């Protein structure tokens, strides 16, 4: 029975629902993130929101405190799912190294040595940018692409691998990641504010002691929620501010930490407004991977003579085929070397025959 792409995937990703959802190898961390969001909101609704139902002028207005908390939490969880369960921008692997980039040097030896350039120059916004070759994926990484050692994939516009969402953050899920972090910040502010308001209500209650200590003993859950939200704000709030800076300057986390000391010119910076428009108002590109497609069978390569005649008609992309298993790069280079040796011997035989 033919297998699908996600069933023979070479990365460390985990797939669910027949390849419709793709997670990172540390997808279990989503349970912790889910609990850190949902559990405080449940405590808030039971021990704080429930007592604020009748604390507003309109009788039914108090119910909006609970409804808003529940709906906004669902919104945050949807953003979490959109961030962690989609292709972040994985660049498909090549089945073979790019043969057109190989150079051959004999150097007086019988077997020519194969020289594979590790970098090459590409133009970005009129400026030359150096891109590197990835041995694992057997391709030259596009600009701003990096290989994630956790997921074992090359990811376009790689920002970082986030253990809290269990996924790489890249070109296709960065907007959702930022919305998730910033929305979590607003949720913390909301729970903190409503808990503080309930403390104030308890202090003004005629039956209470009228002191902060009395309100704290009356509602210890409010104290716990305020402390939890205050600590969380240092993380998600700081992360929101940091990514606002990155978006305004059109940087990624990876670029900021790696090239911060180089003081190099940022060729991707288009101005603050255009940078924000690029992230939030640009249509997200479709995935370059068809995880549910059936894997194509490996085709045997034609003989050397036939392959030589077909080279002039076939482009570089035609010579690459997607196969089930990645071939070892050393084996590919050896085959290429043997083919050129065979062609060299044939040419020598022809030249000797002509001389005779």
Which of these is catalytic: 137, 162, 168, 229?
Answer: 162
Tokens of 35: 């609990």
Q: What is the DSSP letter of 206?
A: T
- 162 as an active site residue: the answer is yes
Give me the residues paired with residue 16 across strands: 21
Cα distance between residue 231 and residue 229, in whole Å: 5
SS (H, E, C) 109-167: CCCCEEECCCEEEEEECCEEEEEEEECCCCEECCCCCEEECCCCEEECCCCEEECCCCE
* Phi then psi dihedrals of residue 299, to 5 deg: -100, 135
Residue of 224, 277, 212 lying closest to 248 (CA atoms): 277
Tokens of 274: 């255009």
SS (H, E, C) 246-272: HHHHCCCHHHHHHHHHHCCCCCCCCCH
Q: How far is CA 57 from the centre of its chain?
A: 47
Longest dimension (CA), the chain: 119
Helix then strand then coil, in percent of the chain rounded to 5, is 50, 10, 40
Residues labelled as active-site residues = 162
């Amino acid at each position: 029975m033919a297998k699908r792409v996600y069933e023979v995937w070479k990365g460390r990703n985990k797939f669910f629902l027949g390849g419709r959802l793709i997670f990172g190898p540390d997808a279990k961390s989503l349970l912790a993130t889910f609990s850190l969001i949902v559990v405080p909101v449940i405590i808030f609704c039971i021990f704080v929101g429930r007592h604020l139902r009748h604390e507003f002028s309109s009788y039914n207005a108090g119910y909006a405190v609970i409804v808003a908390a529940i709906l906004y939490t669902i919104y945050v969880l949807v953003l979490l799912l959109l961030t962690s369960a989609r292709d972040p921008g994985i660049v498909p692997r090549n089945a073979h190294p790019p043969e057109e980039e190989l150079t051959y040097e004999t150097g007086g030896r019988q077997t020519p040595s194969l020289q594979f350039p590790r970098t090459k120059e590409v133009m970005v916004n009129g400026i030359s940018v150096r891109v590197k070759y990835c041995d694992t994926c057997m391709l030259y990484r596009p600009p701003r692409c990096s290989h994630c050692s956790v997921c074992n994939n090359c990811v376009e516009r790689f920002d970082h691998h986030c253990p809290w969402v269990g996924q790489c953050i890249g070109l296709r899920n960065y907007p959702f990641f930022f919305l998730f972090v910033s929305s979590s910040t607003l949720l913390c502010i909301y729970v903190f504010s409503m808990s503080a308001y309930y403390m104030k209500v308890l202090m003004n209650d005629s039956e209470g002691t009228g002191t902060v200590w009395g309100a704290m003993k009356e509602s210890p859950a409010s104290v716990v929620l305020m402390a939890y939200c205050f600590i969380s704000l240092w993380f998600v709030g700081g992360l929101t501010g940091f990514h606002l800076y990155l978006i305004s300057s059109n940087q990624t986390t990876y670029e900021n930490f790696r090239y911060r000391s180089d003081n190099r010119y940022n060729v991707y910076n288009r101005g603050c407004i255009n940078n924000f428009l690029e992230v939030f108002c640009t249509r997200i590109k479709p995935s370059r991977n068809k995880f549910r497609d059936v894997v194509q069978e490996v085709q045997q390569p034609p003989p050397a003579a036939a392959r030589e005649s077909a080279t002039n008609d076939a482009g570089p992309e035609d010579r690459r085929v997607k196969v089930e298993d990645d071939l070892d790069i050393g084996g590919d280079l050896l085959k290429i070397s043997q083919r050129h040796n065979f062609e060299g011997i044939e040419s020598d035989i022809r030249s000797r025959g002509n001389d005779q």
